[in-house]
Amino acid sequence: MIGGISVERKLQRKKEDKKGRAWIELDYKNLEHNLKEIERVIPQETKVMAVVKANAYGHGAVPISKALNQYGIEHFAVATLREALELRRKKIKGEILILGYTPVGDRELIIQYDLTQTIVDYEYAKALNQGEGCIKVHVKIDTGMHRLGEACEQVELLKKIYACPKLLVRGTYTHLCVADSRKKADIEFTNNQIERFRQVIDTLQKKGVDTGELHIQSSYGILNYPELSCGYVRAGIALYGALSSKKDKTKIKLDLKPVLTLKSRIEMVREIKKGETLGYGRNFTATQDMKVGAVSIGYCDGIPRNLSLENQEVIIHGKKTNIVGNICMDQLSVDLTAIEEAKQGDEVILIGEYGKEKVSVEEMAERSKTISNEILSRIGERVIRVS
Ligand SMILES: *Cc1c(COP(=O)(O)O)cnc(C)c1O
């Protein structure tokens, strides 16, 4: 029989089969360690809201959130309603805040699944204030990012938001847009954002408004402005043990350890002769007789195509070697000339470490001219999350 449950069962018969062609392994000890590191530097009264949007930055939102629940985390943030629903269906406990806009037509689902919606402006508050039942919300205030949030100058509109009878306001927050920078002008801008937030909160509270728990910082807010005392910090990338960029300097340093290892397999090994080309576009030419391997992971799985010909490294049998030729949708090729023992089925580490050798997500991001957040969150759906 093809399809259905019987195939799934057969596929998952053994742990080894379960991994398939490309998979990630999670190091829960490191996740717990990173959480402790964050908790060590924030004020005692401040709690960590774990940002698990985009499938927990590619790690797998359900296993990561389940583990975090066990480590005592009771607040989560996601980007979309679907992400929130998945967590709730898989029995994740605590507050789940949707950071983005949810169409008003889905209001009932938010209430039914006990989710918390971000109020992005006054118009949206008015719309969500219609209908059956009350809806839990956090109010977002714009202090300079100019993405979501009611403008901090609009005190009257903000007051009206808090006065909506069907909105149960549990928190109020803002988002910093240059908290990662140590440039003087950027620090000034950030301090200004923080000050604007403080002032509008102060004004509202003096008028008797209950603003709920406050939160400002994401990972770089924690690393560069650790002294702020709020209800929560919204920790994303730091929780996963990475910085956005390798070269980032931060006010405080945390001992962050990567949670994710990305692996694949050698599908086949072959010899190519000096002068022969390899792959699409024929843009790699062997400068000597070579042994090469096809590896079963490609750009659909999150290895950026622009890493082709950039000497991006992988680890095989504890040895580093390079990706060669153009990265394809489902596969890429590696140089196996110096790795005698490499054979079909062997593991390839794309992100991770083995012994002394390491390929970090920060390195991969730098070579592909982006940030770790993008590399991790774009690890594809076909990559199996082994938990
Ligand atoms: C994604 C996001 C975060 C987490 O950011 P990191 O830099 O990964 O810690 C926090 N707050 C908001 C509003 C976000 O969109």
- Give the three-class secondary structure for 42: coil
DSSP state, 106? G
pTM: 0.95
Residue from 38, 181, 218 to probe ligand 1 pocket by mutation (most atoms less than 8 Å from CB): 218
Residue 33: per-residue pLDDT: 98
Residue 8: per-residue pLDDT: 67
Residue 373: per-residue pLDDT: 98
* Cα-to-centroid distance, 314 and ligand 1 (Å): 29
Q: Would the pLDDT of 296 be above 80?
A: yes
Residue 387: per-residue pLDDT: 64
Report d(CA 324, CA 276) in Å as an integer. Answer: 13
Residue 17: per-residue pLDDT: 62
SS3 assignment for 239-307: CCCCCCCCCCCCCCCCCCCCCEEEEEEEEEEEEECCCCEECHHHCEECCCCEEEEEECCCHHHCCCHHH
* Cα-to-centroid distance, 216 and ligand 1 (Å): 10
Per-residue pLDDT tens for 97-153? 999 999 999 999 999 999 999 999 999 999 999 999 999 999 999 999 999 999 999
Distance of CA 358 to the CA centre of its chain: 21
- What is the rounded average pLDDT of the residues 157-185? 98
Q: Would the pLDDT of 61 be above 60?
A: yes
Q: How confident is the model at residue 291 (pLDDT cuts 50, 70, 90)?
A: very high
218 Cβ closer than 6 Å to some ligand 1 atom: yes
138 Cβ closer than 6 Å to some ligand 1 atom: no
CA-175 nearest atom, ligand 1: 13
Q: How confident is the model at residue 348 (pLDDT cuts 50, 70, 90)?
A: very high
Distance of CA 110 to the CA centre of its chain: 23
Q: How confident is the model at residue 297 (pLDDT cuts 50, 70, 90)?
A: very high
Residue 12: per-residue pLDDT: 60
Q: Which residues are catalytic?
A: 53, 280
Per-residue pLDDT tens for 4-50? 667 766 766 566 667 899 999 999 999 999 999 999 999 999 999 99
Per-residue exposure over 277-301, b if at least 16 CB sit within 10 Å of its own CB, e if not: ebbeeeebebeeebbbbbbbbbbbb
Residue 19: per-residue pLDDT: 86
* Cα-to-centroid distance, 115 and ligand 1 (Å): 18
Q: What's the mean per-residue pLDDT of the chain?
A: 96
